[in-house]
Structure 1
């Protein structure tokens, strides 16, 4: 009798795990042999969807890549994804790795903004461009940005570039001089600047968004921007990985001054036993050609041993975003 009870309990737990798995559930296994994909950014390009993600160093071997890289997956329906390529580190600047991609489509060119990895306070934002979304040419002025001022350590990660008011706004995460608190800033560039280092002008002498609520811990990062009417909305991550990281929302009328919509997270981590019980983090808000919007985010239930990416559809009303 006890044996039957145990077996039945295991079957029920497995069934619950399957129920908890979302419709989109992507994790690249090509580099570690287990699912591991972080920091999603999605575009629609040349008749398909492309998703750029942070990909960890692969295992040792003839095909091992040095440091973190950027993975590329494709989809026809925003649900089922297939890994198709990598953007590996290139040159001395990127020798320890690259990650946290942001893909910006300008006419027929994909502009990829990303950070160097593993250099602590010296990590900075870089840029590359591509006419097929797969093979990228580096900006000759890389790194294109790191912040200045007594409020910051000089580190810049988690780039988000958005066209607003006839300028490009680059949002970034940095840390305080003690490298303890993660916060965000912004720089702008004219449309004809070519995203070169000299084109960017820092527009803040202090953080534009920083942790203040208990759920945010010591970290606000991973900005993702969308415009709805007169407002810019920023989806951002609060708290460091798995502490748990969750998603909040802020809004702005000028792209520089931001107000948080709530002292609670917009998207929380999952309940115990669900796929994202350790966190729901690093958001990306994507607007499709038909005007529907989706919030992509990373999650796991094992404190970061694996990482999956999923999405949820977002609706909008006079108060801002809501889950459909």
Structure 2
């Protein structure tokens, strides 16, 4: 740690007096959740407009949906499908839906569901550009199991592929002829072509009279930090369909969240009042984005957007479907569903393939095909740093969402900063050498005024859940903490993000010290955090 000592006690006292006028108590909604044994804090997301462009911008009435909270997102929709159903008599001749796209080298692999009027099965198509696809000659790659097995009645519609240890793990919904309850199974492949099924489902229905007692389906799996998370549909005894989440360390043994269901059906008249399902989730710090399918009272399907700061507590962003005013007479005028995400490294936009059709039916026979949208998630900021001086000049993303545990940006135009409480965390995208720098100011005197027994205050830096170092402060001082990449590299996840936690040993409330009317819980000031 490099410490820059400055006689800032007088500055701090003035700062606290001014705070009685300028500071407003942070009333942001925080809720505890328990997913397995882990606990975290969920917050409401920032507000900003949602935009659509391309084909849609010309015919979408922006007043047709209600923005209830918002995040920066811009969608461009391709006019024509990119993958068509087969010729009459082929295994995917009636519907081709539910794409699930992953990438190996320079090739995209699309595991999709095909329907011939009698049975759903899974096939494979490949592409080098994500637009022009070639179907695998050996299709289908996943079929019904033999009579008497758990998936002998129905499989493959609404599956999810993910790469784990160079193998494809394909999660799919299946049903047995004995009870016809949908559950989630797993098939794996080491050559990405031939699959071996697990003998039993990996996610089953809940106990009687619970929200998912009659079926679990529509799995979508992502990796985040040390866990795999499966977002899925659950159905109860009244046939109400909601969304839940489970997690796993190995992709095989799953535990459901006690926070389930995490997303409920919409209000009367909304695009998802008849049910919701087929979630797809993507993380782009600081938000988790979910695109899900909603069914209205007439069984017309559209997609909606929800966002979250923790992946468990979600906030819907629209009342009508995102494409409620799309043109009639098009190939997807009645159904837009079954989304899947992929984002290449260092790409500026996210690709989203989806299923579409022109018949408003609840399950199949939709004239289904696969389309493509491009989503821009540009936040107008450098994802490798938290700099209040830069962030104060734009309002696309709330700074308190980026550095969780912080308060609003304040200070004069040339020296802006944020106060943080005892627990703060941030996700930073690693660039360059990976050197981590944290600069700020520790007001030890304020801590001691709150508790005379305090001799010093410590900040512990953790990366990806592992403690890296603890820095102890024995006076009021400015500081810069520098951590080289080789000190934390072994704790890195597979993605490009550094998940940084800052834990302070003490905090204080200025109003209780008699210094101001400020009732916030404060620990220290952050000037900048960056990883270069």
Class of the TM-score when normalised by the shorter of the 2 chains: 0.7 to 0.9
- The answer to whether 1:27 aligns with 2:81 is no
Which gives a bigger RCO, structure 1 or 2 (Cα 8 Å, sep 6+)? 2
Residue aligning to 1:297: 354
Aligned residues: CA RMSD: 2.5
Moved more, 94-103 or 143-152: 143-152
TM-superposed deviation, 1:71: 1.4
Distance 1:29 1:289 in 2: 33
TM-superposed deviation, 1:36: 2.1
The structure 1 residue matched to 2:344, chosen from 288, 296, 318, is 288
Residue 98 of structure 1 aligns to a residue whose secondary structure is coil
- The answer to whether 1:156 aligns with 2:216 is yes
TM-superposed deviation, 1:278: 1.2
Residue aligning to 1:177: 237
- The answer to whether 1:130 aligns with 2:189 is yes
Deviations 1:20-73 (A, max 9, x none): 9824431231525746211111111243111111111477xxxxxxx3211111
- The answer to whether 1:48 aligns with 2:114 is no
Q: 1:215 to 1:113 in 2, by over 3 A?
A: same
The structure 2 residue matched to 1:102, chosen from 148, 153, 160, is 160
- The answer to whether 1:200 aligns with 2:254 is yes
- The answer to whether 1:76 aligns with 2:128 is yes
TM-superposed deviation, 1:127: 0.6
- The answer to whether 1:111 aligns with 2:169 is yes
Paired residues of 2:92 and 2:115 also in contact (CA < 8 A): no
Paired residues of 2:99 and 2:355 also in contact (CA < 8 A): yes
TM-superposed deviation, 1:134: 1.1
Residue aligning to 2:204: 146
Paired residues of 1:111 and 1:130 also in contact (CA < 8 A): yes
Distance 1:44 1:24 in 2: 20
Distance 1:241 1:38 in 2: 22
TM-superposed deviation, 1:107: 3.4
The structure 2 residue matched to 1:244, chosen from 300, 304, 315, is 300
Deviating above 6 A after TM superposition, structure 1's stretches of 4 or more consecutive aligned residues are none
Residue 77 of structure 1 aligns to a residue whose secondary structure is coil
Q: 1:116 to 1:57 in 2, by over 3 A?
A: farther
TM-superposed deviation, 1:133: 1.2
Q: 1:267 to 1:41 in 2, by over 3 A?
A: farther
Deviations 1:110-134 (A, max 9, x none): 1100000476762100011111211
Structure 1-normalised TM-score? Answer: 0.80
TM-superposed deviation, 1:102: 0.4
Alignment of 1:219-238 (within 5 A): 219-238=275-294
Structure 1: 5+ residue stretches without partners: 1-19, 60-66
Residue 156 of structure 1 aligns to a residue whose secondary structure is strand
Paired residues of 2:335 and 2:359 also in contact (CA < 8 A): no
The structure 1 residue matched to 2:333, chosen from 277, 284, 294, is 277
Residue aligning to 1:210: 264
Q: 1:58 to 1:82 in 2, by over 3 A?
A: farther
Residue aligning to 1:88: 143
Residue 271 of structure 2 aligns to a residue whose secondary structure is helix
Residue 270 of structure 1 aligns to a residue whose secondary structure is coil
Distance 1:39 1:241 in 2: 22
Structure 2-normalised TM-score? Answer: 0.50
